[in-house]
Amino acid sequence: MFSNKKSHKYIEKMKDGTIKQLNPFTGDEILTIPGRSNRPINKGKVEIKDIEQKEVEDYCAFCSKNYIMTPPEKSRIVFKNNKYKEYHNLKATELNNSVAEFRRIPNLFEIISYDYWVKNYNYKIPKHLKTIKEEYIANKEGFEHVINIVDGKLKMSGLSQSEIAKTSDKKKLGLANGFFAGSHELIIGKRHFIENGKTTLDKSSSGELNETNHFHYVDFTIKAMKDIYDNNRHVKFVSVFQNWLAPAGASFDHLHKQLVAIDSFGLKNKKRAEVLRKKPNIFNEILSYAIDENLIIAENNTAIAHVAFGYLEPTICVTSKSKNKHPWLLSNKELKDFSDLLHA
């Protein structure tokens, strides 16, 4: 006998236009984001061509010569005089004063948009981020940079030049709030191609970084994750992934990680939590099994890598052995151990 009672919303339209779909059998949740499909799409066709080596690369919008082609930068790491130094909230006029080993920038086409947090959670820009925005657009170069990036996004969204011209600067600056207070960010590597690369196959990957550089790459990403949690109390989980090549759907074949804030823990994490409540020792059990079955690949003082099981594709799991529960609480030594196995 059928019942008309609705126990779940299998399709739900959020206030910002995002559509959530819930699979009634698996519990998988699919999000369709308004405007997300307007981003540049990498078709995934690999063409092998000779490349021209350049002292300052300009092969894509993420390259060192094109800092002004991305939304306002949040921070960067510079290697100078044999030291790594972080710079935060550089002005538009300062972008080319140094060459960044890694840059942290907003994603122009967010998966979970700034509007999503505003319209569904009444999110408001924290005062310190509002100040950063105001200071950035206070000078001519910063103002023009923001307006140009918004114009480019509107053009990719299908607006005509006349429609863009009719859009007021005030509205455009409002559309730029996500550049300063959004919760989808990128950590971009310095190089597009490896040093002395010959063809388009010679792309710079995380494996091409040295161990110290990779440590700063991971550390810089974790600091960005912590900032996202701190700046938006509605965030439940920050997903970090590195899908930088065309087959993974990345817009540019330039090394980068993505950090995406989500307003739920997700099905997999919920299931992990349920298992953990019943079996508090489950992670130790997994590692014990890996040891017994000779599935350990590498280990150092505070991290371990093993062949993972239960996945459709061949998978390696790298686990920190630290007692600290959050990545940003790891000591430098613990994080270095984790980074080294991830890098290897």
Q: Which amino acid is at 301?
A: N
Confidence of residue 3 (pLDDT cuts 50, 70, 90): very low
Q: What average pLDDT does the chain have?
A: 91
3-state secondary structure 165-221: HHCCHHHHHHHCHHHHHCCEEEEEECCCECCCCCECCCECCHHHCCHHHHHHHHHHH
The answer, yes or no, to whether residue 22 has pLDDT greater than 90, is no
Confidence of residue 24 (pLDDT cuts 50, 70, 90): low
User: Which residues lie below 8 Å from residue 31, measured CB to CB, with a gap of 6+?
Assistant: 18, 19, 20, 21, 111, 112
Averaged over 239-244, what is the pLDDT?
88
Tokens of residue 232, six digits: 């938006």
d(CA 136, CA 245): 32
Q: Which of 37-51, 136-150, 205-219, 325-339 has the lowest mean pLDDT?
A: 37-51
The answer, yes or no, to whether residue 295 has pLDDT greater than 70, is yes
Confidence of residue 13 (pLDDT cuts 50, 70, 90): confident
pTM, 2 dp = 0.87
d(CA 265, CA 272): 10
- Give every strand in the sheet of 316-320, ordered side by side: 296-299, 303-307, 316-320
Least Cα distance to 65 among 209, 192, 221, 151 occurs for 192
The pLDDT score that the predictor gives to residue 2 is: 42
Q: Where are the beta strands (DSSP E) in 23-157?
A: 29-32, 75-80, 83-88, 102-106
The answer, yes or no, to whether residue 200 has pLDDT greater than 50, is yes
- Summarised one tens digit per residue, pLDDT across range 80-124 is 999 999 999 999 999 999 999 999 999 999 999 999 999 999 999
Distances (CA, A) of 61 to 70, 266, 341: 7, 32, 30
- Summarised one tens digit per residue, pLDDT across range 66-81 is 999 999 999 999 999 9
The answer, yes or no, to whether residue 1 has pLDDT greater than 50, is no
d(CA 185, CA 182): 8
Q: Which of 33-42, 138-147, 149-158, 191-200 has the lowest mean pLDDT?
A: 33-42
Query: Which carries the bigger pLDDT value, residue 136 or residue 283?
Result: 136
- Summarised one tens digit per residue, pLDDT across range 163-195 is 999 999 999 999 999 999 999 999 999 999 999
